[in-house]
Amino acid sequence: MSESKQEHLTGSEQPESAGRRAFLGTSAAVAGASLVPGVILYSAAQGRAPGEPASSAVRWGMLIDTAKCGDGCSDCVTACHDENGVAHKTGPQDPQWIRKVDIRNLQTGARHSLPMLCQHCEHPPCVDVCPTGASMKRADGIVLVDRHICIGCRYCMMACPYKARSLVHEPLTDQNPEVPRGMGCVESCTFCVQRVDRNETPACVEACNAQGHNAMLFGNLNDPESEIARTVKTYATTEVRADLNLNTGVRYQGI
């Protein structure tokens, strides 16, 4: 890479790409383009502005009241898979971001029905084991797979105690533009991050409320005023596999 070429480059430019881009013309007036354009810090009371990063002042959480969760109702599942473009198939190779689990206490015979999804742990085993750092936790506690660097090794699927993750086993077409998904990468519930980031609730919660079940409550666990924070403070709630000390973001009531 010649010195003269480098002079045209901005600091952020990697030298080795200059040659390849040469045919695009060297006249580029590289005028220090701001990479994060016009960050307007809305001081809106609700949520954050598009330009503002997720902050650890928020910890998104979900509280599921199994007493209210309808036995046989799977509206949350349908809504999730519609929103995220997951085909409604349940073969062993098909991804499921959320599923209804029926449980029966072996001693008492008590039955419950509840949705199981990524529990958005504070200490997620999937993040610990991921070799490339594709499995990650956002500042606001949402656990995601960065599918740009996921290599599809599936170690996270081995490590997840909740079986929350799926591999995309076949090529996909016609994805929802807001929810890119593709073959060979691992994926799981994102708390509908695309919706949360525009201050909406996850699709499952919306569907549950629309049915009048109101079994799923979504909100900021770090905000003492939020309904979810007040509820978990007042009532006994359960973490699934609490013995693993993962401090899950999803909690259950009634089991």
Task: Enumerate binding residues for ligand HEC (CB under 6 A).
Answer: 17, 20-21, 24, 147-148, 178, 180, 182, 185, 193-194
Residue 160 interacting partner from another protein, ligand HEC, none (CB closer than 5 to 8 Å by kind): another protein
At closest approach, how far in Å is the CB of 247 from ligand HEC? Answer: 24
Q: Rounded to whole angstroms, how far apart are CA atoms 57 and 44? A: 16
Q: Is the dihedral of CA 181, 185, 186, 191 positive or negative?
A: negative
Q: How many Cβ atoms sit within 10 Å of the Cβ of residue 45? A: 5
Taking CB under 8 A as the rule, does residue 6 contact another protein? no
Rounded least distance, CB 254 to ligand HEC, Å:
32
Which residues, at least 6 apart from 139, have a Cβ–Cβ distance to it below 8 Å?
Answer: 53, 54, 55, 56, 58
Question: By C-beta, is 3 or 92 nearer to another protein?
Answer: 92
Does 26 bind another protein (CB under 8 A)? Our answer is: yes
Query: Smallest distance from the beta carbon of 211 to ligand HEC, in angstroms?
Result: 26
Is residue 87 part of the contact set for another protein (CB under 8 A)?
A: no
User: Which residues in the 37-76 window bind another protein by CB under 8 A?
Assistant: 37-39, 42-55, 57-58
Interface mask toward another protein for 184-223; x: CB under 8 A:
xxx------xx-xxxxxx---x---x-------xxxx-xx
Whole-angstrom distance, CA of residue 119 vs CA of residue 161: 10
Residue 118 binds another protein (CB under 8 A): no
Per the CB < 8 A criterion, the answer to whether 61 and 249 are in contact is yes
Which of ligand HEC, another protein, none sits in contact with 81, Cβ below 5 to 8 A by type? none
Residue 33 CB, shortest distance to another protein, in Å, is 5
- Report the SS3 class of residue 223: coil
Structure tokens at 9: 């480059």
Q: How far is CA 160 from CA 16, 80, 86, 98, 247, in A?
A: 40, 20, 20, 14, 14
> What backbone phi and psi angles, to 5 degrees, belong to 227?
-60, -40
Q: Which of 68, 70, 122, 147 binds another protein (CB under 8 A)?
A: 147
Residues in the chain: 255
**What's 53's DSSP letter?**
P
SS3 of residue 235 by DSSP: coil
Residue 151 beta carbon to ligand HEC: minimum distance, rounded to whole angstroms: 11
